[in-house]
A and B are shown apart, each in its own frame.
Chain A
Amino acid sequence: MTDLIKETLSPPRSILSQNASQAFYRLLAALLICAALTLLSDSFLSLGNILNVLRQASLTFFIASGLTLVVLTAGLDLSVGANVALSACLAGTVIHQTGSPALGILTGLVVGGVVGFLNGFMVTALRIPSFIATYGMLWVLNGVTYWYMAGETVHGFPAGFRQIGSGYFLGLPVPVYLLLIFLAIGSLFAQRTIWGQEIYAIGANPVAARLSGIPVTRRLLLVYTVSGTMAGIASIIFLARLNSAEADIGESLTLPAIAAVLIGGASLFGGIGTVFGTFIGASILTLVLNGMNLLSISANWQPLVTGIIVIVAVWLDMKTRRSAQ
């Protein structure tokens, strides 16, 4: 037994190096797509377009980075998209009525976080499998958002607030800075803190984690709350970028976020994956859409191409993982 615990608790080194080589291969895949697009389209390889891709990837990344932590614990959060919609609608209304972007941002983060906490509560205290608990939550959130918005749009925010989404600082879009900041914080948290390591351990073997004294319930609550809060952050970026929100904005956000996590190399069985990998995953998905727009390929092909890329990415991932072992 003690061996088992040791094994579970000592992965930091091996996971780190293994994850690093994983991330390397994924980066390579992204670069290959870039090279192909450069050959196919003149306008692809310009600073403008690369910043463009990063800015578009940021929204998926914010949602997917929190989701990565949930997936690390062998859980899943299907309610992230619906959470973004509710948080954005409430935050937007608060900004409108109080005129204070700060209060609006706070609202978005708190709503997102509370929803995440409730998910965590259902998973830990009520012991409902995360897949089903968060699917139920998705419907509940949609119901609340539909009722609250009643088919209206909330729109038109102060210019200062909108800088968060569409502004530039020293020539780079503001969301790109935020992306880099959260990428750094997320990676450091997951890889370099005890809490982060405990999250990996819970995903790798929950029983061993509990036996070795890790407060599993509290860590799980933390993870779901963080995922919800990241959805809240995404909702703020969404509001600032689109200058408006309506009840249906979440529909199209959840599956791409999950796909980004999986293309990024995380395993749904927990314990494997990195925030950086998720960032690459989000970038690959965005690159595909960007490339298809630049090449004027009909949108009918987009789901098909995305599906094939998911398979190829995960298959490559498994190949490299096997050869690494």
Chain B
Amino acid sequence: MPDAAVISQIRLFQRTPGVAIVLVLLIGLFGAIAPGFLSAANLANVLVQSTILTMLALPMTLIIMTEGLDLSMGAVLTLTSLCVAIVSLATKSALLGLGAAVLVGAAFGTVNGWLVAIVGIPPFVATLATLGIAQGLSLIMSDGQSVVGIPHSVRDIYSAAVLSVPVPIIIGLASYGVFHGLLYHTRFGTYVFALGGNREALRYAGLSPTRLLIAVYAIGGTMVGVAGLLMTARMNSGHPTAGLGLEFDAIAAVAVGGTSFERGNGWLLGTVLGVIAVGVLRNGLNLVSLPSSIQVASVGALVIVALFLDGFRSRS
């Protein structure tokens, strides 16, 4: 008969998601061996670096909960970032740049949703195709060149701070707040859960799964538009390949965070923890200066270990 403390510890272990365990272990490890890792400046650093990916990973969580996927996010991010650069360069207005980016992002999101929900093309294929289209448009618009000379008002968005909290962190927190409210405290959120797990129930309730699905992808595109502003602000320029491949990082963060690819099981906070875990890993490895090839391999190892822990506990 094992004593109660052990049982409660086992229960705690079983209930704690893999990503939380991994994150705590990483922070403990780097806190012990990496000088400067636990300094406030560095921790703020990790959070700021995680903002753009968080803004992709939050809507990606919703999309994956509907048993969908958006592979076009990285390419659309690149395109919206270029839009911010080009429009703000021409109009000298960061706001108009943001407006253009949000429009383009929302348009791509809506097209993705339309292709998936109405035309009926599987999400992976539809968004793989729009990935190519967005990337092509970026190359054509910029002719492969960086766009520079954009007004300072854009750049200040990334480097400014309110009450000494960097603005990107505030934007990240606000995004999380909005998505948390949307998913857990509105009817729309309930429908999103139903879209993945129980689409029939939606139909019985007289709701159109098609429109809901389009809305989910459109929200994703809109967020990518906002993230485009941050991306341009961060580089103080637009670049035709800057965001390529980030969609896979976002998908990995969602999966590491415990959202399942089947049946509408999503965990929004887990996604954020997943993004931060990858950020902490990269930051810590930079601080202890291991060879870069080890850094590459450990990103893969982290993804596999976190999912293994999740699967392992769900069976035990």
Residue numbers of A with Cβ under 8 A of B are 78, 122, 126-129, 131-133, 135-144, 146-147, 255, 258-259, 262, 267-269, 299-308, 310-311, 314-315, 318
Distance A255 CA – B144 CA, assembled complex (angstroms): 21
Asked if A258 and B128 make an inter-chain contact with CB atoms under 8 angstroms apart, the answer reads: yes
What A residues does B5 contact at CB under 8 A? none
What B residues does A140 contact at CB under 8 A? 297, 300-301, 304
Q: 17 A-B pairs, CB-CB below 8 angstroms?
A: A122-B308, A132-B252, A132-B261, A136-B300, A136-B302, A139-B296, A143-B293, A144-B293, A300-B139, A300-B143, A300-B144, A304-B132, A307-B135, A310-B125, A311-B129, A314-B121, A314-B129
Interface presence of B295 (CB below 8 A) = yes
**Given A255-B128, A269-B122, A307-B133, CB of A135 within 8 Å of CB of B140:** no
B140 to chain A, nearest CB (A): 5
Distance A41 CA – B251 CA, assembled complex (angstroms): 42
**Given A304-B136, A306-B132, CB of A139 within 8 Å of CB of B299:** yes
Considering only residues 293-316 of chain B, those with a C-beta below 8 Å from chain A are: 293-304, 307-308, 311-312, 315
Contact with A along B256-296 (1 / 0, CB 8 A): 10000100000000000000000000000000000111111
Distance A268 CA – B71 CA, assembled complex (angstroms): 14
Q: Which of B120, B256, B261, B315 contacts A131 (CB 8 A)?
A: B261
Asked if A139 and B311 make an inter-chain contact with CB atoms under 8 angstroms apart, the answer reads: no
Asked if A146 and B292 make an inter-chain contact with CB atoms under 8 angstroms apart, the answer reads: yes
Residue numbers of B with Cβ under 8 A of A are 115, 119-122, 124-126, 128-133, 135-137, 139-140, 143-144, 248, 251-252, 255-256, 261, 291-304, 307-308, 311-312, 315
The 6 closest A-B pairs by CB, nearest first: A304-B136, A143-B297, A307-B132, A139-B300, A147-B293, A143-B296
Distance A87 CA – B143 CA, assembled complex (angstroms): 35
Distance A314 CA – B119 CA, assembled complex (angstroms): 10
**Given A138-B300, A303-B136, CB of A308 within 8 Å of CB of B129:** yes
Asked if A307 and B131 make an inter-chain contact with CB atoms under 8 angstroms apart, the answer reads: yes
Asked if A146 and B121 make an inter-chain contact with CB atoms under 8 angstroms apart, the answer reads: no
Distance A147 CA – B248 CA, assembled complex (angstroms): 23
What A residues does B119 contact at CB under 8 A? 315, 318
A3 to chain B, nearest CB (A): 21
What B residues does A268 contact at CB under 8 A? 122, 124-125
Asked if A302 and B303 make an inter-chain contact with CB atoms under 8 angstroms apart, the answer reads: no
What B residues does A122 contact at CB under 8 A? 304, 308
Chain B: which residue is nearest A267 at the CB level? B122
Asked if B297 and A262 make an inter-chain contact with CB atoms under 8 angstroms apart, the answer reads: no
A1 to chain B, nearest CB (A): 21
Chain A: which residue is nearest B256 at the CB level? A132
Chain A: which residue is nearest B254 at the CB level? A132
Distance A305 CA – B307 CA, assembled complex (angstroms): 36
What A residues does B125 contact at CB under 8 A? 262, 268, 310-311, 314
What A residues does B248 contact at CB under 8 A? 78, 135
Of A131, A311, A318, chain B has the most CB atoms within 10 Å of the CB of A311
Distance A315 CA – B143 CA, assembled complex (angstroms): 30
Q: Which of B133, B292, B293, B294 contacts A303 (CB 8 A)?
A: B133
B58 to chain A, nearest CB (A): 18
**Given A142-B297, A258-B128, A303-B136, CB of A133 within 8 Å of CB of B121:** no
Distance A142 CA – B136 CA, assembled complex (angstroms): 26
What A residues does B139 contact at CB under 8 A? 299-301, 303-304
Asked if A136 and B301 make an inter-chain contact with CB atoms under 8 angstroms apart, the answer reads: yes
Asked if A129 and B121 make an inter-chain contact with CB atoms under 8 angstroms apart, the answer reads: no
Asked if B296 and A307 make an inter-chain contact with CB atoms under 8 angstroms apart, the answer reads: no
Distance A141 CA – B298 CA, assembled complex (angstroms): 10
What A residues does B303 contact at CB under 8 A? 132, 135-136, 139
What A residues does B130 contact at CB under 8 A? 307
Of B122, B125, B293, chain A has the most CB atoms within 10 Å of the CB of B125
**Given A147-B291, A300-B136, A300-B140, CB of A132 within 8 Å of CB of B129:** no
Distance A142 CA – B255 CA, assembled complex (angstroms): 20
Distance A267 CA – B252 CA, assembled complex (angstroms): 22
**Given A310-B125, A311-B126, CB of A304 within 8 Å of CB of B292:** no
Asked if B297 and A307 make an inter-chain contact with CB atoms under 8 angstroms apart, the answer reads: no
A316 to chain B, nearest CB (A): 11
Asked if B132 and A144 make an inter-chain contact with CB atoms under 8 angstroms apart, the answer reads: no
Asked if A302 and B300 make an inter-chain contact with CB atoms under 8 angstroms apart, the answer reads: no
What A residues does B120 contact at CB under 8 A? 318
Asked if A310 and B297 make an inter-chain contact with CB atoms under 8 angstroms apart, the answer reads: no
B107 to chain A, nearest CB (A): 15
Chain A: which residue is nearest B69 at the CB level? A131
Asked if B121 and A128 make an inter-chain contact with CB atoms under 8 angstroms apart, the answer reads: no
Distance A139 CA – B298 CA, assembled complex (angstroms): 8
Distance A303 CA – B139 CA, assembled complex (angstroms): 9
Other 20 A-B pairs with CB < 8 A, given A128-B304, A137-B304: A126-B304, A126-B312, A128-B308, A132-B251, A132-B256, A132-B261, A135-B303, A138-B300, A140-B300, A143-B293, A143-B300, A258-B128, A268-B122, A300-B143, A307-B132, A307-B135, A308-B132, A308-B133, A311-B121, A318-B120
What A residues does B292 contact at CB under 8 A? 146
Asked if A143 and B295 make an inter-chain contact with CB atoms under 8 angstroms apart, the answer reads: yes
What B residues does A306 contact at CB under 8 A? 132, 136
Q: Which of B137, B261, B298, B315 contacts A304 (CB 8 A)?
A: B137
Distance A301 CA – B141 CA, assembled complex (angstroms): 11
What A residues does B308 contact at CB under 8 A? 122, 126, 128
A237 to chain B, nearest CB (A): 25
Chain A: which residue is nearest B240 at the CB level? A300
Distance A303 CA – B136 CA, assembled complex (angstroms): 5
Asked if A305 and B298 make an inter-chain contact with CB atoms under 8 angstroms apart, the answer reads: no
Asked if B296 and A301 make an inter-chain contact with CB atoms under 8 angstroms apart, the answer reads: no
